[in-house]
Structure 1
């Protein structure tokens, strides 16, 4: 049967062949918008970063920042945020709970897995200077990124609340005065199509403004079979498209910059049942044998899961975002910057989170007397949510003699609304279960106010080699919660809650750096950070959880040696957390909950290196973190107990590593060829904090070791005076499969697995 052609299909076709439609047009010089250096052939390039809110060399910035260029993203065919996981030490980006498209970001072991709108992350993501606070708001592809900065460790002074783990800063390309086009298309395993186009429209007439437009589409089939559904709706499938635009004008001392983006993504998550309690295994196993399809339970991956008939499993997320930036350079002593941001998320995260579905006997059926009905451990037939935020940041910065300074003010206004509808079947015997229907609706209004200042001193007597920096930040958070929960088994219970809370924090920073030679810098820094308190909104009546605070100590070295043929960066750190916020599924209340774990200490080190030897280049990174609970008070049988000696750090690998190498050679008129191979991985990590709280995790205590071998051949050449790129690649060549997320629902523990081996080919053109 022929499928109807939708408007978005026409759009995809247009993106894919966009380059061909303009091939006959006159060629124009193309400006990527990146800051370039005049380098001798074979030298290692530097990248300009804004990790301290000013533009400076990454190698001269006295903190742990991994600078990733657009060229690196293109070479490794990285199109989504999760691809960054290999490019920085101590960084892990995996799948968030409830949605296969939302990235869960951990830096130095600190992060969160939840996509629920009441949860605020520990790693801040900034797009063009605007904070994007929810994982589902970061589901876009990366076709238009000029650079990425991974700031490792607490960043509380300049980047504010919710950066106790670190921050990721994404900078999109600037519009250019000259017109040009960059278009890319790739096709790979499971019908994966990625197509993007960036059109530089150049200057508008004689005005000072230049315009840029971008578009992308990304779709693929799934790999976790769902009987009765097409491969385009199997677990792992996604369907995404988006648009972006920017207009920028420089009028003497004033620069105006307006950027916006839109993205829509539909995805399907392939949950599988990993383990079960004795009664859970007996009930769902018997139900599967006697009344309905098989409900397989056990460690896999099986890449098979029967979907509950009460949900299609489709998670849909739409995001809108924009930034309006004004820069006014009064003099060297004073520049004024205003960043106004808006973002909205409209999502509905449906899913068969219980890992399967069958038919079984229910003591309280929907239709009285008809006790045989669909059963699963956990299904979310409907989960609409909406987030709106407005932010305003004002900065004053400049240089006065030996001093540089930055003073700023920040305002954040957010409202989230979410309704979570779930159906859970809890077996009470090997043959009978009780059905629980629950619908929780909540709204949270948040307002945050902050003032911050940072002063740096480069004394003349040290000839600019020494810099001492100090900073302070005051933050006040106000939140209001309204929530209602309706829960039905044999009777219906309705609960409601309203409350207001306020938290504040004073953060600080002190650092010193010394440029031993023009190529070698050492630094030391101490800083604090703060993550806002909040509500476990789905659990009506639960007390708020407290803010998480961190104090971090770090020492490091950055070096470019042997005429910039060897780059070696080292760092060592210790971070002490108080009231660490830990996320886990509570099998008593059947909800995800954040709790404060008391005190924890994280220690570790990181290494980044690049070696350039003629036409050969090697790069790699290594990160190690060793966390330890100092105090973790939890109610055990109603008695407050310190469980620090029993608690694990879920989703925190002790080791992260990556090594890559490439050989590039000139083939004359045929162009240049690059052969590259990479290996990256993460050591094993626990699936849950306390096995006593979720006993099924004893059957699956670890996620599994991450291991990815990849290889690619890249051909760059000229065709009709156009710059062309072609690439063939393979990812996860060893077909390593590890658990990306797991949760214990009492009767069943369910989870998701990483993507299987895949291959592809890509083609790009620049005009």
Structure 2
């Protein structure tokens, strides 16, 4: 089965590439000729006061001078408060990214948005190289396990998708991204103590159209996508679209004995989607579905070890001709344990049905029904390498030499099924606007984690632990929420006061079983049920000092559900995490909208902060409630445009501090707040980009753009006492990415065309994206080295 999958997927790449190429050629038959007819520059899209959908849109403001509008910053329409409004008029910290920006920067996966908002870090989650781990203002989680719920909520077309492995899809048809920074507990509910990210796909259109793109780059990376707008269905009010994308690349962390298509860093992905939308006067029906199948391989490398761990794995590698290098890298080289092929596969299905009826401006009703499933198997050589060594309890009696590694996962199947329903009632009544809603969430997860761990007893001998843990968690959550806004007439729309409440109740049931074998076999089981509830709140006040300058203050709370450390059978549950945030900000469009400057300062206080780490005593990942922590920070976003020159940038600074962190030291509860660190949390995040566009009457528009994105150094550990090997690798390393691209937008026979040459990580900066101490060995994953590519696309 495995040997045939890659060729089949490669054929899919060729097929979709052929479709994209056919679309390109049909749009541009004159390209093959010696001379190309003069192209007419694209005309600006007329501005819209109110968007026809919740898509994030970048539109020029209306004025009498269309040419002047093109020389100004776009107005971005967002739905961060569940209604369409300008991002610059929304009193909260939000970074909005249009689909055109994603395309221009060649961002095809969700981790690419890390450069586009301050205080945002998207890195690799543990266990699987395909799942994004998202941190906002220092709050997030690294685990891909299905029992862990993240602190940043991801919403796709209005539906919450809680599992990192369920967000592994590419972005072929995204109309926009909204990054909401800070707690969002009233409107977006549980598990948004760090913030929320809203992804919107494009609406079907009444007219037929095709968008096709193809790119090729380093590591034989191919990305081919097509979006076909099917237009109106007959004479009905319904419109439809379909989309598909293939993304495949070779890896860069060599695994001897495997082809580059299975080295660490390789991926092989296919996805498609579809939508039908009907607009029947006041009533709108919108149905959307998507599917994605992604295979990936993660290149773990050994970073450090205990004295006995270094000696045992190092000596075994030398004695048996399978080197097990240990130390700071990257080496981009690691033997893979023969008991696992390292292949992680995640299949996701998602569907959403949205019904809207506008009775009047005073009363509208909206229903959002969602269904998501995940079918995954996350296999990997997490121990950072493999060799042959002597074990005291051989798998085959008398044969003491066998494959050994610090941590291997030969099999880790898991499934998730989720149903959600949200009902909203909203409208405007004089000076007031309101939103009232009910929310229901039901989920079942099942996972079996099979691991092999070799723990050295001496420099020459280890003992093997085989463990299989199976668990099932059933979750139900119900919530009611309300928000009321007031824009008093006497203030001429300059003043707005908003308040909101949300009540949430969670019920969870755990059923787990673990079988562990060394010399003897031990079986443990656990069954329990728990309930948690929370009352969240939000209040804000904003005032427009001028029509283009907004000052606001905001206070809010959020709640992250409690849960279970399912792989550690018998462990007590961890409790909910709660946050209280206080923020002030300024949003401004200056110099006739040639300069945009947004500022914010905040403090967020967390109780029972959930901290993730590897427990070397139980050899499992565990979430614990750290106690109390305070996060303070400031953020700056700026953009400027002058003619064909544009510059944009952002800076985020966060200063987290534990005020209480209680753990048992020699059996005595002890506050270790002064010793604890904030793993994976850089103090600084920053980005600056600049571009110059030159438009010619005959050849189209040429744009040269450069970007620099950076993250400060961040710790690899929370407490050295719980992960002693991290003392040898205390930090992930400073992230810095210089990128450059040359873009050409032109027309051929009335069809829009685009081409691009790009380079990423031009300085070849290497840093760790994930690291964990497994006891005898600490291992980690390094970022992708320098790479280049070209792309071509069309729309007609």
With normalisation by structure 2, the TM-score equals 0.95
Give the CA deviation at 1:722. 1.2
Q: C-alpha separation between the residues in 2 aligned to 1:17 and 1:638?
A: 65
Q: C-alpha separation between the residues in 1 aligned to 2:593 and 2:654?
A: 29
1:348 aligned to which of 368, 377, 380: 377
Alignment of 1:420 onto 2:443:
no
1:185 aligned to which of 192, 195, 214: 214
- Residue in structure 2 matched with residue 632 of structure 1 by the alignment: 661
- Residue in structure 1 matched with residue 679 of structure 2 by the alignment: 650
Alignment of 1:36 onto 2:59:
yes
Q: C-alpha separation between the residues in 2 aligned to 1:431 and 1:363?
A: 10
Q: C-alpha separation between the residues in 2 aligned to 1:210 and 1:237?
A: 37
Q: Secondary structure at the match of 1:17?
A: helix
Alignment of 1:602 onto 2:631:
yes
Q: C-alpha separation between the residues in 1 aligned to 2:744 and 2:419?
A: 44
Distance 1:29 1:139, change over 3 A: farther
Q: Secondary structure at the match of 1:286?
A: helix
1:534 aligned to which of 563, 579, 604: 563
Which piece of structure 1 moves more, 661-670 or 501-510?
Answer: 661-670
Q: C-alpha separation between the residues in 2 aligned to 1:646 and 1:631?
A: 11
1:693 aligned to which of 682, 697, 722: 722
Give the CA deviation at 1:368. 1.4
Asked whether the equivalents of residues 64 and 152 of structure 1 are also in contact (C-alpha less than 8 Å), the reply is yes
Gaps of 5+ in 2: 29-41, 46-52
- Residue in structure 2 matched with residue 11 of structure 1 by the alignment: 12
Asked whether the equivalents of residues 286 and 431 of structure 1 are also in contact (C-alpha less than 8 Å), the reply is yes
Q: C-alpha separation between the residues in 2 aligned to 1:8 and 1:622?
A: 41
Give the CA deviation at 1:292. 3.9
Distance 1:747 1:565, change over 3 A: same
Q: Secondary structure at the match of 2:792?
A: strand
Give the CA deviation at 1:20. 4.2
- Residue in structure 2 matched with residue 567 of structure 1 by the alignment: 596
Give the CA deviation at 1:668. 2.3
Alignment of 1:551 onto 2:580:
yes
Give the CA deviation at 1:531. 0.0
Give the CA deviation at 1:74. 0.9
Q: Secondary structure at the match of 1:669?
A: coil
Give the CA deviation at 1:530. 0.1
Q: Secondary structure at the match of 2:243?
A: strand
Give the CA deviation at 1:130. 0.3
Give the CA deviation at 1:18. 2.1
- Residue in structure 1 matched with residue 266 of structure 2 by the alignment: 237
Q: C-alpha separation between the residues in 2 aligned to 1:383 and 1:732?
A: 33
- Residue in structure 2 matched with residue 302 of structure 1 by the alignment: 331
Asked whether the equivalents of residues 475 and 508 of structure 2 are also in contact (C-alpha less than 8 Å), the reply is yes
Asked whether the equivalents of residues 292 and 360 of structure 1 are also in contact (C-alpha less than 8 Å), the reply is no
Distance 1:5 1:301, change over 3 A: closer
Q: Secondary structure at the match of 2:382?
A: coil
Which piece of structure 1 moves more, 231-240 or 24-33?
Answer: 24-33
Give the CA deviation at 1:253. 0.6
Distance 1:356 1:396, change over 3 A: same
Distance 1:280 1:8, change over 3 A: closer
With normalisation by structure 1, the TM-score equals 0.98
Give the CA deviation at 1:291. 2.3
Q: C-alpha separation between the residues in 1 aligned to 2:134 and 2:512?
A: 28
- Residue in structure 2 matched with residue 484 of structure 1 by the alignment: 513
Asked whether the equivalents of residues 353 and 380 of structure 1 are also in contact (C-alpha less than 8 Å), the reply is yes
Q: C-alpha separation between the residues in 1 aligned to 2:420 and 2:44?
A: 33
Give the CA deviation at 1:6. 5.5
- Residue in structure 1 matched with residue 131 of structure 2 by the alignment: 102
Q: C-alpha separation between the residues in 1 aligned to 2:43 and 2:132?
A: 36
Give the CA deviation at 1:24. 7.7
Q: C-alpha separation between the residues in 2 aligned to 1:5 and 1:263?
A: 16
CA RMSD of aligned residues (A): 1.6
Give the CA deviation at 1:638. 1.3
Distance 1:431 1:594, change over 3 A: same
Gaps of 5+ in 1: none
Q: Secondary structure at the match of 1:250?
A: strand
Q: Secondary structure at the match of 1:207?
A: coil
Give the CA deviation at 1:22. 4.4
Distance 1:551 1:9, change over 3 A: same
Q: C-alpha separation between the residues in 2 aligned to 1:602 and 1:5?
A: 46
- Residue in structure 1 matched with residue 361 of structure 2 by the alignment: 332
Distance 1:398 1:627, change over 3 A: same
Q: Secondary structure at the match of 1:284?
A: helix
Give the CA deviation at 1:8. 4.0
Q: C-alpha separation between the residues in 1 aligned to 2:342 and 2:83?
A: 44
Q: Secondary structure at the match of 1:415?
A: strand
Q: C-alpha separation between the residues in 1 aligned to 2:83 and 2:520?
A: 60
Alignment of 1:504 onto 2:533:
yes
2:478 aligned to which of 449, 466, 469: 449
- Residue in structure 1 matched with residue 790 of structure 2 by the alignment: 761
Q: C-alpha separation between the residues in 1 aligned to 2:463 and 2:551?
A: 63
2:203 aligned to which of 145, 169, 174: 174
Distance 1:162 1:201, change over 3 A: same
- CA deviations on 1:200-259 (whole Å, 9 max, x unpaired) are 000001000000100000000000000000000000000001000000010011000000
- Structure 1 residues 140-155: aligned runs within 5 Å: 140-155=169-184
Q: C-alpha separation between the residues in 2 aligned to 1:5 and 1:746?
A: 35
Alignment of 1:381 onto 2:381:
no
Q: Secondary structure at the match of 1:424?
A: strand
Give the CA deviation at 1:7. 5.2
Distance 1:199 1:371, change over 3 A: same
Asked whether the equivalents of residues 30 and 181 of structure 1 are also in contact (C-alpha less than 8 Å), the reply is no
Asked whether the equivalents of residues 29 and 180 of structure 1 are also in contact (C-alpha less than 8 Å), the reply is no
- CA deviations on 1:170-222 (whole Å, 9 max, x unpaired) are 01000000110000000000100001111000000100000010000000000
Distance 1:75 1:24, change over 3 A: closer
Asked whether the equivalents of residues 627 and 661 of structure 2 are also in contact (C-alpha less than 8 Å), the reply is yes
Q: C-alpha separation between the residues in 2 aligned to 1:3 and 1:533?
A: 43
- CA deviations on 1:118-149 (whole Å, 9 max, x unpaired) are 00000000000000000000000011011100
Distance 1:650 1:696, change over 3 A: same
Q: Secondary structure at the match of 2:567?
A: coil
Q: Secondary structure at the match of 2:75?
A: coil
- Residue in structure 2 matched with residue 364 of structure 1 by the alignment: 393
Give the CA deviation at 1:5. 9.0
1:435 aligned to which of 448, 458, 464: 464
Q: Secondary structure at the match of 2:334?
A: coil
2:312 aligned to which of 271, 279, 283: 283
Which piece of structure 1 moves more, 93-102 or 718-727?
Answer: 718-727
- CA deviations on 1:366-390 (whole Å, 9 max, x unpaired) are 1111111110000000000000000
Q: C-alpha separation between the residues in 2 aligned to 1:259 and 1:313?
A: 33
Give the CA deviation at 1:503. 0.1
Q: C-alpha separation between the residues in 2 aligned to 1:20 and 1:685?
A: 44
Distance 1:262 1:53, change over 3 A: same
Distance 1:154 1:401, change over 3 A: same
Asked whether the equivalents of residues 526 and 553 of structure 1 are also in contact (C-alpha less than 8 Å), the reply is yes
Q: C-alpha separation between the residues in 2 aligned to 1:4 and 1:739?
A: 30
Q: C-alpha separation between the residues in 1 aligned to 2:149 and 2:531?
A: 16
Q: C-alpha separation between the residues in 2 aligned to 1:483 and 1:41?
A: 60
- Structure 1 residues 316-327: aligned runs within 5 Å: 316-327=345-356
Q: Secondary structure at the match of 2:598?
A: strand
Give the CA deviation at 1:355. 0.2
Q: Secondary structure at the match of 1:552?
A: strand
